[in-house]
Amino acid sequence: DLGVNPSNDGAVIRVVLPELTEERRKEFIKVAKHKAEEARVSIRNIRRHAKETLDKLVKDKEVGEDDVRRAEKQLDDLTSRHVGHVDDLLKHKEAELLEV
Amino acid at 84: G
Q: Does domain 21-98 have CATH number 3.40.50.2000?
A: no
pLDDT of residue 1: 63
Q: What are phi and psi of 77, to 5 degrees?
A: -65, -45
Contact 86, 39 (CB under 8 A): yes
pTM for this entry: 0.79
Contact 35, 86 (CB under 8 A): no
Of the candidates 2, 6, 26, 24, the one whose C-alpha atom is nearest the C-alpha of residue 14 is 6
- pLDDT one-digit tens code per residue, 16-65: 887 888 998 999 999 999 999 999 999 999 999 999 999 999 999 898 88
Every domain of the chain and the residues it spans: 21-98
Planar angle of CA 34, 36, 40, nearest 5 degrees: 115
39 contact partners, CB below 8 Å, separation of at least 6:
86
Neighbours of 56 (CB within 10 A): 10
